[in-house]
């Protein structure tokens, strides 16, 4: 009788062990970014962190840090967008956890125009804006009435006009106004025409205009290097200090452990070296 009890006891203990093991397996299921970390000390959960980005260089840089975050138990999923509007819409609606494609002036303007409350965490890099040749290949003999394509969004258009001013092509009413528009041009000796286009479309239109001011990421995607530009923003310029690209999250998420891990990885010495070697001045780390 005692031997039967021992056998039943062993079977019962084994059943409990299987049940506990199954319970531990459930704790290892994928979590969202809001559940990053493991304050209870139980089985560590894998965190899915969705970050929106434009393809170049942002998505490439994020892809580079995937292994770093994987070691922290974070599955970084890069959601690629091809314009400057969708990443903020997706973030504000909760479809993604963060985005990486914009500078603070653009973010501030987006928040103002759309009633959103998105906030930056860390600054990662600066992409020099460049003036690239189109039908005209030199600034020494600018044709009268030449057409210059510039980005049509508020912050990047002002930045483009400041670049044209630095080249002596135009003069603005306020030479330091980062929100300048074509209406603020007070001197235009070559009678140039400003053609306002979506930033993503400008590289495709470069051969239809005399010159084109192209954002760094779209220039890279189109196969341009900063060395191809006739003139570009300097690393010590006002633009470099103002237009660093940042990680952006919803307000209140800045201290999310997964976001903190993302910020740390993307501003690491390894990423700085990666940016410098891969982009050769077309993308400049600012950390």
Q: What is the pLDDT of residue 235?
A: 76
CATH class label, 130-233: alpha beta
In the chain, which stretches have pLDDT less than 70? 1-44
pTM of the full predicted structure?
A: 0.71
Q: What is the pLDDT of residue 154?
A: 81
Q: What is the pLDDT of residue 19?
A: 35
Q: What is the pLDDT of residue 42?
A: 52
Per domain, the residue ranges of the chain are 46-127+243-285, 130-233
Query: What is the distance between the alpha carbons of residues 84 and 153, in angstroms, rounded to a whole number?
Result: 9
Per-state percent for the chain, helix, strand, coil, to nearest 5: 45, 20, 35
Query: What is the distance between the alpha carbons of residues 135 and 229, in angstroms, rounded to a whole number?
Result: 14
The CATH architecture to which 46-127+243-285 belongs is: 3-Layer(aba) Sandwich (3.40)
Instruction: Give me the helices (H) in 28-114, please.
Output: 60-70, 86-92, 104-114
Query: What is the distance between the alpha carbons of residues 97 and 259, in angstroms, rounded to a whole number?
Result: 8
Sign of CA dihedral 157, 222, 127, 250: positive
Query: What are the pLDDT digits (tens) for 12-56?
Result: 344 333 333 333 332 223 444 444 545 445 556 889 999 999 999
Same fold, 46-127+243-285 and 130-233: yes
Query: What is the distance between the alpha carbons of residues 237 and 240, in angstroms, rounded to a whole number?
Result: 5
Give me 31's structure tokens: 């979590």
- Cα dihedral 52, 57, 60, 64 in deg (nearest 10): -100
């Amino acid at each position: 009788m005692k031997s039967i009890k021992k056998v039943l006891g062993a079977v019962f203990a084994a059943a409990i062990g299987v049940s506990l093991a199954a319970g531990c397996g459930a704790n290892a299921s994928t979590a969202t970014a809001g559940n990053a970390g493991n304050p209870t000390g139980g089985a560590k959960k894998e965190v899915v962190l969705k970050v929106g980005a434009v393809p170049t260089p942002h998505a490439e840089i994020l892809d580079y840090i995937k292994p770093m975050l994987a070691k922290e138990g974070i599955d970084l999923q890069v959601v690629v967008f091809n314009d400057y509007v969708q990443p903020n819409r997706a973030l504000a609606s909760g479809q993604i956890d963060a985005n990486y494609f914009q500078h603070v002036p653009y973010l501030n303007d987006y928040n103002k125009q759309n009633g959103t409350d998105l906030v930056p965490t860390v600054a990662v890099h600066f992409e020099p804006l460049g003036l690239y040749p189109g039908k005209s290949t030199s600034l020494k003999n600018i044709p009268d009435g030449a057409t210059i394509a510039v980005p049509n969004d508020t912050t990047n258009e002002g930045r483009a006009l400041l670049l044209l001013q630095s080249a002596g092509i135009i003069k603005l009413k306020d030479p330091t106004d980062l929100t300048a528009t074509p209406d603020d041009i007070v001197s235009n000796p070559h009678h140039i025409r400003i053609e306002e286009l979506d930033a993503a479309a400008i590289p495709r239109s470069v051969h239809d205009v005399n010159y084109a001011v192209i954002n760094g990421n779209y220039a890279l995607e189109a196969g341009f290097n900063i060395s191809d530009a006739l003139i570009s923003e300097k690393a010590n310029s006002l633009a470099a200090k103002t237009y660093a690209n940042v990680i952006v999250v919803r307000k209140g998420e800045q201290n999310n452990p997964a976001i903190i891990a993302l910020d740390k990885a993307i501003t690491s010495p390894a990423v700085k070296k990666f940016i410098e070697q891969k982009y050769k001045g077309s993308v400049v780390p600012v950390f």
